[in-house]
Amino acid sequence: MEWRDEGVVIGLRPHGETSAIAEILTAEHGRCMGMVRGGRSRLLRPVLQTGNLVMATWRARLDEHLGTFQIEGLNLRAGFILAHPLRLAGMNTLTALAQLLPEREPHPRLYEAAHVVLSAMDDDAVWPALLVRWEMGLLDELGFGLDLSRCASTGQTDDLAYISPRTGRAVSREAGKPYHERLFQLPAFLCGGQGSSAEDVLEGFKLTGFFLERHIFAPRQVAMPPSRAWLFDGLRQRLAA
């Protein structure tokens, strides 16, 4: 068995004295793992940093085996991300959440979106909102997508302003006004609006965080990655400054 695919490194752990087990989110083969011989060497260590774009060749005698990776670096962007704490928290959040995907199940749209987020990390006015959108996509791919198409109460498709924490469906401004304290704010950039303020981004992270916790982390009895809390706090401090 052999295939070759582009992917983003989302995890790495030591294996033996010199090798490593790499976890890669690939374009066509989904989240895959494989052993990289010499993966802890001085030559490969910079390539196997989380967030880097690589070309991976996977080989195994049988499809169900762990297999081995041969890795070529395509875009070693982790280096400049590591120098910025907020970007690092964002990258670590994305790669940690990507590990929730079922192994070897293709999610091409989510992969492309992850590539877009990581490629935009040099623009702090853009990537946080893109990461919120990516988390929305993750919920959708895992079967827990939010319904932003129309108001759950009136059926109207315009002036959607809230999300029900109970149903995950949009609510119009008029219908939700009497209950607004019990509803999530729906940032305009998530339903076709142009631009995204810092306040909107924080509301977006509150929204996706609630549903990630409810549908994914709590049922699995695992904790949200700490990097997500660091990211949220960093964005909030930046807004307050």
Q: What is the CATH number of the domain that holds 26?
A: 2.40.50.140
**Is residue 112 domain-shared with residue 130, that is, in the same domain?**
yes
Which pLDDT belongs to residue 191? 84
- Boundary residue ending a domain (43, 76, 109): 76
Residue 39 in domain: yes
Which pLDDT belongs to residue 107? 97
Average pLDDT over residues 15-26: 95
Quote the CA–CA distance of 52 and 115 in Å, as a whole number: 10
Residue 162 in domain: no
Residue 107 in domain: yes
Predicted TM-score of the model (pTM): 0.94
**Length of the chain in terms of residues written:** 241
Average pLDDT over residues 175-198: 88
Average pLDDT over residues 209-229: 96
Describe the strand order of the beta sheet including 184-185 as a list of residue ranges: 170-172, 160-163, 184-185
**Is residue 72 domain-shared with residue 124, that is, in the same domain?**
no
**Is residue 113 domain-shared with residue 57, that is, in the same domain?**
no
**Is residue 50 domain-shared with residue 106, that is, in the same domain?**
no
Which pLDDT belongs to residue 63? 81
Residue 62: pLDDT band by 50, 70, 90 thresholds? confident
Which pLDDT belongs to residue 64? 79
Evaluate if residue 216 carries a pLDDT over 70: yes
- Boundary residue ending a domain (76, 100, 115): 76
Average pLDDT over residues 12-35: 95
**Is residue 54 domain-shared with residue 99, that is, in the same domain?**
no
Quote the CA–CA distance of 12 and 4 in Å, as a whole number: 19
**Is residue 85 domain-shared with residue 141, that is, in the same domain?**
yes
Residue 173 in domain: no
Average pLDDT over residues 22-48: 95
**Is residue 6 domain-shared with residue 68, that is, in the same domain?**
yes
Which pLDDT belongs to residue 193? 66
Residue 209 in domain: yes
From the list 225, 24, 208, the residue with the least C-alpha distance to 111 is 24
Evaluate if residue 170 carries a pLDDT over 90: yes
Count how many domains the chain has.
2
Residue 204: pLDDT band by 50, 70, 90 thresholds? very high
Are 12 and 6 contacting, i.e. CB atoms less than 8 angstroms apart?
A: no
Please give the single-letter amino acid code of residue 201: V
Residue 160 in domain: no
**Is residue 61 domain-shared with residue 97, that is, in the same domain?**
no
Residue 153 in domain: no
Task: Describe the chain by its helix, strand, coil percentages, rounded to 5.
Answer: 40, 25, 35
For 174, the enclosing helix (H) or strand (E) is helix 173-176
Quote the CA–CA distance of 136 and 222 in Å, as a whole number: 20
**Is residue 129 domain-shared with residue 221, that is, in the same domain?**
yes
Residue 29 in domain: yes
Q: Answer positive or negative: Cα dihedral of 202, 204, 210, 212.
A: negative
Of 59-68, 141-150, 157-166, give the lowest mean pLDDT range.
59-68
- Boundary residue ending a domain (35, 51, 76): 76
**Is residue 71 domain-shared with residue 114, that is, in the same domain?**
no
Range of the domain at 202: 80-148+186-240
**Is residue 49 domain-shared with residue 85, that is, in the same domain?**
no
**Is residue 87 domain-shared with residue 143, that is, in the same domain?**
yes
